[in-house]
Amino acid sequence: MDGILELQRQAHEDIERLEQAIVDLMLQNLTKHRYRLVREQKINGLLDQIQSRSKFLIDIENDLTGLRQREVTGMIENGFDDFYKRLGAIHSYHRQHPESAVNPPELEYIKYKNNPEELEEKRRKLLSKAKENDEQNVELIAEPESLQTETFLAAEDEEKLDTMFSGEERFGRYVDLNEQYELYLNLKDVKHTSYLDYLVEFTKFEAYPRKNKSQQKYVEYLFSLRQYFEGFFLRAMPLFNVPSTQKEAEEEFAQQWQKRKAADWEDNSSDGSLGQELFCAACKKQFEKSTTFSAHMNSRKHKKTVARLQGEQKDTANATAVLERALDEKIAQDKETAWLEHLVHTYALVLADKISDTKANVERRQALTEAERNQEIDEEEPEFIEEDDDKDDQIYNPLNLPLGWDGKPIPYWLYKLHGLGVKFSCEICGNAVHRGRKAYEKHFQESRHATNMRRLGIPNTRQFHGVSSIEEALALWERIQKEKKQAVANTDTFEEFEDSEGNVFNKKTYYDLKRQGLI
């Protein structure tokens, strides 16, 4: 059996090897998202092992049992006798077990140095050679199978990753709040909104009526959001420090609550808005306005409830204590609800980029057909190649497609969907070219087009939308002016007047005859 000092040395060695394994993993240039995710999970597991071994070392250093001190004292007193005794025990063990296998600890950490993508490429090359060979080379085909076990990516990691995320989450790229969306729609006094709008507004808790925030369904909804985000951090961002974020959020919330400045929980009793003074402890009801609260306090139902409480408690002092206790419970419940809102909002800020990507993905998928959605699910996940500032490679774009937000050509199906192959020019804007009907129609409402229309002396009204030629715009404006003048002139002939004898004249003739005194 190893001594305390040997166990301490082994623990230090394990920590150093674990740290080196983390360094080896971080140095791997991985392009696939799923490989990066597995790497983060492996690093998180290695960090847990380091913490466990460090705790073991701290316990040894504290030496509460005194075994370490006795061992050190024995080595000092006995000197070489103790050394040769230990050496003899080692020789004796190996004489009794001559065929025992030796497993060097460094062999366990070799896999963390190998890049799975590089080995995967080697495997593809070997398999292609095997297919080109007419004769069945068993060793050539078997060799690629062994390559996969030499990396940190094991078969069980692949299986675990496939079951860890939902289809909407796409291996942690997006969030999936469909379950929370259903809970939100079942809350009281909420307007029905689309899932896309929900992703934009779900952190705006102040929009939900405060009088309903004490309901159990609302608390369960907030708790569901909290559980999902914490689970998402564990699955998609295993290296994210959730306890530290919670602690910071708790300190910030404590300060805001003490000053009554937590979102939608301000103490605005002076202006008659919601506050604890508008809470009826006897009936356990929250009111929105002071007028409604006053009417309730004078109602027969409230007085009956207070009388019942006093009858149950037998004296006024006990009844008052019950009411105060109910008010304290209401304050504690409000504080817990406000804390959940604050924590969920903090988590949403951390995941702002992923939530934004989710909104873009939901909007994009709404434009896809069912066949395109199924094809997207079946196809292999895209590879995300990190930008290399040292390389200035020219982007391959033979179809001259417009570039997206990432600087790469947009997909061809999106190019066809928006009709970006059709170009529209506007002479009024200096022959500016617009790709697609949508961009062309939108530019008629922009300031550039409106300014150029004013320079031509033409108002940029709805009638001129779609007119891009200067000549056509001037001709249309001239025609509109003529029609207006003609409409004014026609009013003299359209209106009819009748004299005292029953004769009917148009407006112009009637006033001419009247001025001449003939009528």
DSSP conformation letters of 220-244: HHHHHHHHHHHHHHHHH-TTS-HHH
- Residue 278, Cβ neighbours under 10 Å: how many? 20
φ, ψ of residue 457 in degrees (nearest 5): 75, 25
pLDDT on residue 304: 64
User: Does the pLDDT of residue 504 top 60, yes or no?
Assistant: yes
For residue 386, give Cα distances in angstroms to 151, 383, 389: 21, 10, 10
111 vs 39: CA distance, rounded Å: 12
pLDDT on residue 30: 85
pLDDT tier at 133 (50, 70, 90 boundaries)?
low
Q: What is the mean pLDDT of residues 405-434?
A: 82
pLDDT on residue 346: 93
User: Does the pLDDT of residue 87 top 80, yes or no?
Assistant: yes
Convert the pLDDT of each residue in 89-125 to its tens digit: 888 888 888 877 777 777 778 888 888 877 777 777 7
By CB neighbour count within 10 A (0-12 exposed, 13-18 middle, 19+ buried), where does 279 fall? buried
What contacts 361, CB < 8 A, 6 or more positions away? 170, 173, 174
Q: How many percent of the chain have pLDDT more than 70?
A: 75
Of 73-87, 295-309, 431-445, 477-491, the range with the lowest mean pLDDT is 295-309
* More confident position, 389 or 95: 95
pLDDT on residue 264: 53
What stretch of H or E contains 336?
A: helix 316-350
Q: What is the mean pLDDT of residues 40-68?
A: 89
171 vs 69: CA distance, rounded Å: 51
Q: What is the mean pLDDT of residues 80-92?
A: 83
Of 4-13, 278-287, 335-344, the range with the lowest mean pLDDT is 278-287
Q: What is the mean pLDDT of residues 129-154?
A: 55
pLDDT on residue 121: 77
pLDDT on residue 79: 72
pLDDT tier at 273 (50, 70, 90 boundaries)?
very low
* More confident position, 370 or 207: 207
pLDDT tier at 138 (50, 70, 90 boundaries)?
very low
pLDDT tier at 392 (50, 70, 90 boundaries)?
very low
pLDDT on residue 287: 61
* More confident position, 53 or 156: 53
pLDDT on residue 139: 47
Give the closest residue to 46 by CA, choosing from 68, 75, 17.
Answer: 17
373 vs 367: CA distance, rounded Å: 10
User: Does the pLDDT of residue 344 top 90, yes or no?
Assistant: yes
Q: What is the mean pLDDT of residues 428-438?
A: 86
481 vs 351: CA distance, rounded Å: 57
* More confident position, 437 or 150: 437
226 vs 347: CA distance, rounded Å: 8
Considering Cα of 128, then 134, then 136, then 137, what sign does the dihedral take? Answer: negative
| Global pTM value | 0.58
349 vs 341: CA distance, rounded Å: 12
Dihedral of the CA atoms 281, 283, 287, 293 (nearest 10)? -90
Q: What is the mean pLDDT of residues 370-386?
A: 57
User: Does the pLDDT of residue 284 top 80, yes or no?
Assistant: no
Q: How many percent of the chain have pLDDT more than 90?
A: 19
One-letter amino acid for residue 227 of the chain: Q
User: Does the pLDDT of residue 54 top 90, yes or no?
Assistant: yes
| 321 touches 282 (CB < 8 A) | no
pLDDT tier at 462 (50, 70, 90 boundaries)?
confident
Mean pLDDT estimate for the chain? 78
Convert the pLDDT of each residue in 202-258 to its tens digit: 988 888 887 788 888 999 999 999 999 999 999 999 999 999 999 999 998 888 887
Q: What is the mean pLDDT of residues 305-310?
A: 62
Task: Indicate the angle between helix axes 33-62 and 4-27, nearest 10 degrees.
Answer: 160
Please report where in the chains the tokens 């790229």 appear, as a residue: 173
